[in-house]
Structure 1
Amino acid sequence: MDVTEKVLEVMRAEGQPLNAGKIAELGGLERKAVDKAMTQLKKEEKIVSPKRCYWTPA
């Protein structure tokens, strides 16, 4: 499982908007890797932001 899949899995499991720091903490991932994965997910429109700095699956 790559980092982008892990980020989406953590977001779906939590069921509420999360910021990158919380995703890294819950998923046991490095913050830098989460930021990179989230950038890719934003470009692919797989995540959306309901409020500033918090993200949820699209």
Structure 2
Amino acid sequence: MEKVELVLKVLSDSDKPLRPGEIAEKAGIDKKEVSELIKQLKKEGKIESPKRCYYAIKK
């Protein structure tokens, strides 16, 4: 599974918005990589930030 897919899976499995560190821990990916993936996914419109430094799947 690609890292982007892992991040999306972690976010979709969560019932609340997560911080990058929590996503990194659950996905088993480095936090810096998660931050880059989050930027990419936000640009693509797949995730949103309901509050500062928290991320969730865009519904």
TM over 0.5, shorter chain: yes
Matched residue type, 2:50: P
**Tell me, which stretches of 5 or more residues in structure 1 are unaligned?**
none
The structure with the largest strand share of the pair is 1
Q: Which residue of 1 aligns with 2:12?
A: 12
- The percentage of counterpart residues that share the same residue type is 47
Give the superposition deviation at 1:45: 0.7
- The alignment's TM-score, normalised by the length of structure 2, stands at 0.91
Displacement of 1:48: 0.6
Structure 1 runs (4+) deviating above 3 angstroms are none
Matched residues in 1 for 2:2 and 2:28: separation? 13
Gaps spanning 5+ residues in structure 2: where?
Answer: none
d(CA) in 2 for partners of 1:15, 1:7: 14
Give how far 1:15 is off.
Answer: 1.8
